[in-house]
Chain A
Amino acid sequence: MNENRQDELQLVVFRLKEQTYGIDIGHVLEIIRATDITAIPGAPAFVEGVINLRGRVIPVIDLAHRLGLAPINISENTRIIIVEVGGATAGMMVDGVSEVLRLSRESIQPPPPMVAGVSAAYLQGIALVDERLIILMDATRVFRREEKEVLQELSRQVEERSAS
């Protein structure tokens, strides 16, 4: 990582719903196939479940669902990107991982309020590489559970309980 210069960014590039996204490689621990995910009843809908990562139990989210898009249909190409954010390890399921890319920081532009149906709240910016639009994910924001969401989830649980 020594050759990684200050003005340069390394991205893991992945696909989600026909769009190309990138995530800072600094957050990425590894990339695995999407197999043997155990669903968690009662967890938020975008939580796909938990997996066994060499003896550790790691939660996996469906990134598309998390961003407000339609849930991912698991296929041969589906991958789980294991990331470390804020001291916690978690996986995010994507439609496929293509490459690792170097990008100069200068080429990154601030995101418009909405890109391909995704709110800018989850994004670091956008970049044009070889005429491809790459949307830069902000891993920290994706895994931060906003207070509002937690509250919504709680009220959902309460409703379920009182309904049952």
Chain B
Amino acid sequence: MFTEEEIAVFLEELEEKLQVINDNVLLLEREGGSPEVIQEIFRAAHTIKGSSAVMGYEKMSTLTHEIENLFDRLRQREMEVSETLVDVLFEALDTLKLLKDEITGSAGDVDVSAVIEKLRACQPACGAGGSGGAPAGGGTVPAPAGMSDSREPVDLPTQARDTGSGRLLPAGQTAGLSTTGTSNGYQTYRLTMELEDAVEEVVREAEVRGFQAYQVDIGTDQGCQMKGVRAFLIFETLQQIGEIIKSVPPAEDLQEGKYEQGFTVVLLTKEDAGQVHDLVFSIAEVSSVEVRPIKLRVWEQTPAPDAAARQQVKKEAAPPGKDNIKTVRVDVQKLDTLMNLVGELVIDRTRLDRFVEVFESRYGSDDLVENIVEISNHLGQVTNDLQEEIMKARMLPVAHVFNRLPRMVRDLAHKMGKEIDFIIEGRETELDRNVIEVIGDPLIHLLRNAVDHGIEPPEERVRLGKPRTGRLLLKAAYVESHIVITLSDDGRGMDPDKMRQKAIEKGLMTPEQAARASDREILDLIFTPGFSTAGTVSDVSGRGVGMDIVRNQIEQINGSVEFTTAPGRGTTFTIKLPLTLAIIRALMVTLGDHVYAFPLTNVLETLTLKPGEIRRVRHAEVIVVRGHVLPLVRLAHLFQEESKEEGKLSVVILGSGDKKVGVVVDRLIGEQEIVIKSLGGYLGQVPGLSGATILGDGKVALIVDARGIVKDAGVEEIIYEVNRAG
């Protein structure tokens, strides 16, 4: 089901999270269970649980679920950290690593039951968890049943057609991939097939008769027994809905079982790709199915007169085929290098511009000067275009992430007993590779939430007078220089009044505070760690983990997440992402002799203050902006630079999450697009900085880690109190 690339992404993330758990369990052992450490492990386990479930690694998902449970209880102070516990945790961690090796094939079958038993034994006997007393948490582990059944016949073929579940399956997915031409070689099993003229002719004719030709790539299980029978079954099934006109290897060989991990057929049918996929996938021991419409090549020859009519019919068929041939895979590093070279060009052009200005003022409207001006302008144009094209080359369609979601939603819906129509729009929207890699996780969190406690069970929906089937719409689109991804459901929505109650119960607010807080403030509590509106604990969601992580992850790539909700009518999340991570808009400031850049996504506003307007709260400097107290950070102090500004203060208000901080700088220069460069591995993470950029004059300016500064401004509790009280 999953491409090598997706598995590689998963493994990478897994490695990272395992490291987080490892580091934090070490801390746990050394320093006992601080809430931060427990939260870190909890989150990492939660993420692994989620992604491994999606990928169908059931044992890993079950084991991490158990770890998560345990840490939830630690978090709720229902149990204490002990030596035995740490030992068992390390054992669990080792088992997770073994499971990872199992996935990569460097380890054999791993047994997780023993360590799960130990993890359970560590917990006090009482079953009920604090966050809603769910027996599911401590007792039986809800194995992600829906996740692992890819080999079992889920639906009868006829049902698959009738229920319209084809919409959940990759009808659009395959189209999306084949039109972009980036899919070559990514699939677990895929064959490039050349159609002979004879076959091509058959396909053409069939198309005219209203049949669509599909290339169906079928992968079978590694340990597939009786391969010949399997192939025969697949042939039989496909022939119920159409005609197989070609197969690789040939049909005779297939039925004798002479094939490796799978085979490819060309099918003519009137069914759509999703249904073909469903049908084949319902056959036992089929591990992957990919259905791609075959588009005939028409660009090769100049149309002969008699072929003109035929050309007309398949006009739109040409581009995909074209892409297939004209696409090459390029190492991202090469693109980065190209990007750097363009960066140099930009810098040189800026310098050239400066000379041109000098020439102009010195020699006036000389012919030669005009020539130089013209060359310089043209060079500028070409450089800009070049930069843009390379940026585009780094982009991938968001389908790379979206395509793995329908299956997950379907499985979740099955498990939760929900009926959901999951619609995806804008798969072709392109995003920078790096952004693509990061948004998968937050999207999965949001989808889980929507399925789990957004959309109501069918009976409840009927009772409420809603359509029985819930609707979940995931949409990507360009809005100005951003990508906006929206996820809307027509489910329960969130009720601010219920959440008020919850906030008080959870001790997050006093009744007075809750009464005074606006609905928006209350709703935004979902981004607070530990807040959950779900009554029960499931292995899907509902423990208050997730939303804070979602926001964190999205902000890390300079994005933002917002939502609107109406009780009884549903919730819409809006994620705004930059098109690329390589270039951002930044506010440039000076401090001493240096120029610093603040990413504009974190800059809320700028102000000028008189020194007298600074107040003090318990040794910390604060300012009051429209009635709100904000901590004040002096950049000069943070970076140990000599401030050159006396008198009035230039303040940049930074925001990240709920928190805002005022940062004092020397002078504001203005906004500018900057190309982000890393400080390099040798320096590693430098506190307060997130990277560097090269200015027009060739100098290096440092990019301020705005999120870090906001996070580290340590007086927020006081300020919170002050704001609440006043």
Contacts and interface: CB of A to CB of B under 8 A. Distances in A.
Contact of B692 (A36, A50, A54): A50
B313 interface: no
B4 to A, nearest CB: 25
Contacts of A40: 679, 683, 686, 689, 702
A38 B699 contact: yes
Contact of A42 (B637, B639, B692, B712): B639
Interface stretch (B91-99, B112-120, B340-348, B664-672): B340-348
Contact of A55 (B343, B641, B702): B343
Contacts of A41: 638-641, 686, 688-689, 702
B677 A57 contact: yes
A74 to B, nearest CB: 14
A75 interface: no
Q: Interface size class for chain A?
A: 20 to 34
A94 interface: no
Interface string A48-69: 0111101111110000000000
A164 interface: yes
A54 B694 CA distance: 10
B700 interface: yes
Contacts of B694: 52, 55, 57
Given A38-B594, A43-B686, A57-B692, A52 B680 contact: no
Interface in B673-726: 677-683, 686-689, 692, 694, 698-702, 712
A116 interface: no
Given A36-B700, A41-B640, A57-B677, A47 B683 contact: yes
Interface string B624-648: 0000000000000111110000000
B581 to A, nearest CB: 16
A43 B641 CA distance: 13
22 contacts: A36-B698, A36-B700, A38-B594, A38-B699, A39-B594, A40-B686, A40-B702, A41-B702, A50-B679, A50-B680, A50-B700, A52-B347, A52-B694, A52-B698, A52-B699, A55-B341, A55-B344, A55-B694, A56-B340, A56-B677, A88-B681, A143-B682
Nearest to A58: B680
Interface of A: 36, 38-43, 47, 49-52, 54-59, 88-90, 143, 145, 157, 161, 164
Interface in B311-352: 340-341, 343-344, 347
**Residue from A38, A41, A47 with most neighbouring chain B CB atoms (10 Å):** A41
Nearest to B687: A42
A52 B675 CA distance: 13
Kindly list the 5 A-B residue pairs having the minimum CB-CB distance in the complex, ordered from nearest: A41-B639, A55-B340, A55-B343, A38-B700, A55-B344
A74 B175 CA distance: 62
A57 B688 contact: no
Contacts of B639: 41-42
B202 to A, nearest CB: 54
A157 to B, nearest CB: 6
Contacts of B712: 161
Contact of B347 (A50, A55, A58, A164): A55
Nearest to A89: B680
Contacts of A47: 683
B23 to A, nearest CB: 14
A90 B681 CA distance: 10
Given A40-B689, A50-B692, A164-B637, A59 B699 contact: no
A36 B679 contact: no
Contacts of B682: 59, 88, 90, 143, 145
Contact of B680 (A39, A57, A157): A57
Nearest to A36: B699
A161 B709 CA distance: 12
A58 B681 CA distance: 10
Contacts of A50: 679-680, 683, 692, 700, 702
Residue from B639, B688, B694 with most neighbouring chain A CB atoms (10 Å): B694
Interface in B349-365: none
B340 A42 contact: no
Contacts of A38: 594, 692, 699-702
B366 to A, nearest CB: 32
Given A39-B594, A52-B698, 6 more contacts: A38-B700, A41-B641, A42-B686, A47-B683, A50-B680, A57-B680
